[in-house]
Structure 1
Amino acid sequence: MIAPAPVRVLLAEDQVLVRDSFKVLIDATPGLVTVGEAGTGTEAVFLARQRRPDVVLMDVRMPGMDGIEATRRICAHPGTAGVRVLILTTFDLDEYVYAALRAGASGFLIKSATATELLAAIRVVASGEALLAPTVTRRLITEFVRRPERAPAVRALDGVTPREREVLTLIGGGMSNAEIAEHLHLTVGTVKTHIGHLLTKLNARDRAQLVIAAYEAGLVTTSR
């Protein structure tokens, strides 16, 4: 039986010691391999286009082009359309998390995470899922809904059915698939089907972008 190809990871982190630690950990883990190291956002964009990794582990604060702009350029470029970005952040940087998700990131990881959590996060994002825990989703949305000066772009929901709108609202509120199923008296399979339709209709890469769509459509309010 042929073993599956390893998940290819690009490291974008300006602190050399931190970057080296990530590299040692990833390369020592079966099924994962680093394919490049970047110390700036500019280098991250260049290497992403050149080596087309499965996942970019992206720090936010880097000299020159920051991780947000680098994420935007990677996710928007046709040559790196399949590259997933996992943002490294801290809880006091929710503002940057939101901007990164809007830029196309598939999720984020807290810098205080354990080695096990880091490796799991890389695999989750590489598989095409969004790494956005419900509790963190609630914190993120609450933070921005309470700031009227940070008005989101208006998101149209053309073609979205009333039921899909309900599902999108609950996703924006941070509910998991199981919680949505229970709330709407549906099966988890039906919820997944609705989510699939939402991804297509809203041209969203993953669940993380559906959270942003719910926020930008005004479906999430301070009362939720």
Structure 2
Amino acid sequence: MNVPAPKSILLLEDMAMVRGGMKALIQLAEPRAQVVEAGSYREAVAQLDARAFDIAFLDIDLKDSEHTGVDVLRHLHEHAMPTLAIMLSAVNDRSTVMACIDAGACGYILKDMAPSAFEPFSAEDVFRRAIETVLGGCLYLPASVLGRGGYVPSTPLQRPVVGAAALGLTPRQCEVLYYICQGLPNKSIADRMGIAEGTVRKDYVTAIYQCFGVRRRTELIIEISRRGIVVAAPGACEQVLQ
């Protein structure tokens, strides 16, 4: 039996006691995970430049610093790192969540993780679900963003991977959608596909927006997440028939 390799996780939180508590929660959710801690923007960037991480949990509000966790997120994407970023914040504000998703985040966790009517999960469950969701190709968003009709199942579900035909897209459009769901900007998508950035924006992204009835990238990402869609990875879009 093949045992999955331990996940490599970076945790950026500038308050040591809070960081220790979050690390404990992550390791309860993923006992075999290798969790590396960072207490500042500088430490986080140094760790990211030194090794590869599967996931980075990034505190947005870094006190006593001219940088924020969003700056670390930008560093990830400016250097085309494959790390999936999940933001940590005490701010439950839709515009803040959307700004993070627009910058390439794959998830957003509220630091006040007390169970609610919308998300009746323990703090440990929140981290477990966030990790499973982003590694499964979807975004983890607060129910406050998705709304009452949001996709917030009480237990993790095995969602089918959806190919181009089921989405009403061409295989290349499906590939672009996959990269969008991974938080990649148009330039990085263009580099991976070997085409011009303008082609991605004008020919592919516009068609995808029309298909889903949205006008912006953040609206698209929310709709994908709300529907619980898992987009097929590049090379599989033509084979997947669901």
Q: TM-score, normalised by structure 1?
A: 0.62
Structure-to-structure mapping, 1:1-224, within 5 angstroms: 1-30=1-30, 32-62=32-62, 63-78=65-80, 80=81, 82-113=82-113, 114-132=123-141, 136-137=145-146, 190-192=165-167, 194=169, 198=173, 200-201=175-176, 204-206=179-181, 214-216=214-216
> Offset of 1:85 from its aligned partner?
0.1
Q: Secondary structure at the match of 2:50?
A: helix
Question: Following TM superposition, where does structure 1 have runs of at least 4 consecutive aligned residues deviating by more than 6 angstroms?
Answer: 207-210, 217-220
Q: 1:192 to 1:12 in 2, by over 3 A?
A: farther
> Offset of 1:58 from its aligned partner?
0.8
Cα distance in 1 for partners of 2:39, 2:171 equals: 36
Q: Larger deviation: 83-92 or 192-201?
A: 192-201
Contact 2:13-2:19 within 8 A present in 1 as well: yes
Cα distance in 1 for partners of 2:83, 2:217 equals: 26
Q: In the alignment, residue 130 of structure 1 is paired with which amino acid? A: L
Counting aligned pairs with the same residue, the percent is 26
Q: 1:195 to 1:97 in 2, by over 3 A?
A: farther
> Offset of 1:16 from its aligned partner?
0.7
Structure with the largest fraction of helix: 1
> Offset of 1:83 from its aligned partner?
0.4
Cα distance in 2 for partners of 1:218, 1:33 equals: 30
> Offset of 1:120 from its aligned partner?
1.5
Q: 1:98 to 1:199 in 2, by over 3 A?
A: farther
> Offset of 1:133 from its aligned partner?
5.7
Q: In the alignment, residue 74 of structure 2 is paired with which amino acid? A: R
Contact 1:10-1:37 within 8 A present in 2 as well: yes
Q: 1:93 to 1:47 in 2, by over 3 A?
A: farther
Q: Secondary structure at the match of 1:10?
A: strand
Q: 1:31 to 1:5 in 2, by over 3 A?
A: farther
Q: CA RMSD in A?
A: 3.4
Structure 2, gaps ≥5 residues long: 114-122, 152-161, 185-204, 221-242
Contact 2:44-2:72 within 8 A present in 1 as well: yes
Cα distance in 2 for partners of 1:52, 1:73 equals: 14
Q: TM-score, normalised by structure 2?
A: 0.58
CA-to-partner distance for each residue in 1:105-151, whole Å, 9 max, x for gaps?
A: 11211222222112221222133321136761459xxxxxxxxxxxx
Cα distance in 2 for partners of 1:55, 1:12 equals: 11
Contact 1:9-1:54 within 8 A present in 2 as well: yes
